[in-house]
Structure 1
Amino acid sequence: MTDTSQPQARESIREFLGRHLSGYDIGDDENLFETGYVNSLFLLQLVVFVEETFGLEVEDGDLRRENFCSVSALTGFVAGKQAAAGAPPQP
């Protein structure tokens, strides 16, 4: 598991989304699914990104829209998983 601060996690998530949603500047609290740019297939890409980038295991129970619906939600999800794994995120 890679211990990442919340600002670092947020920046990594924004960079990933920026590469895949070219030309669309997403707000941190904007719902990714409601924009129409993100669907269930892209959700799988987000899961792989989170697992590989942050060294976390996304379990079946984690696959809820509220965990992946925005940059802020993803950042909080990563921080929560890191804390649960015993590596609290840095401020």
Structure 2
Amino acid sequence: MKEIEKQIKDFIFENFLIGQSTRDLKNDVSFLDEGIIDSTGMLELVAFIENTYGIVVEDEELIPENLDSINRIIAYLERKGCLFSKLRG
């Protein structure tokens, strides 16, 4: 699970928090509430998730409860069933 967390954090820092330390972002911080990601950035995040984890994020799944923090993304990926295969792979 730590590898998945690292992949997501690396993406956030490389694309939205350039030059900041990864220690500055806690896993439960809201990307939207903190102004880390806007609506365009959310589309970039979705593309990253789809490409990295081989899933399709359905329109009805584009809600903050699924994608608004590192913890929420990890929980979403678990519900989609893709983490187990990624960790075994």
* Same fold, TM-score > 0.5, yes or no: yes
Band the TM-score falls in, shorter-chain normalisation: 0.7 to 0.9
Deviation >3 Å, runs of 4+: 87-90
What count of residue pairs does the alignment treat as equivalent? Answer: 83
Give the alignment partner of residue 10 of structure 1, picking from 5, 9, 25: 5
Specify the code of the residue in structure 2 equivalent to 1:48: A
Higher relative contact order, chain-length normalized (CA < 8 Å, sep 6+)? 1
SS at match of 2:81: helix
Counterpart-to-counterpart distance in 2, 1:7 and 1:77: 15
Contact map agreement 1:28 1:70 (CA 8 A) in 2: yes
In the alignment, the residues of structure 1 paired with residue 29 and residue 58 of structure 2 have an alpha-carbon distance, to the nearest angstrom, of 24
TM-score by length of 1: 0.80
For 2:65, the equivalent position in structure 1 comes to: 66
Give how far 1:14 is off.
0.8
* TM-score calculated relative to the size of structure 2: 0.81
Write the distance in 2 (CA, Å) between the matches of 1:80 and 1:14: 20
Q: Write the letter of the residue equivalent to 2:76.
A: F
- Deviation (angstroms), 1:35: 1.0
Q: Specify the alignment match of 2:39 in structure 1.
A: 40
Segments of 5+ residues of structure 1 without an aligned counterpart are 1-5
Aligned to 1:82: 81
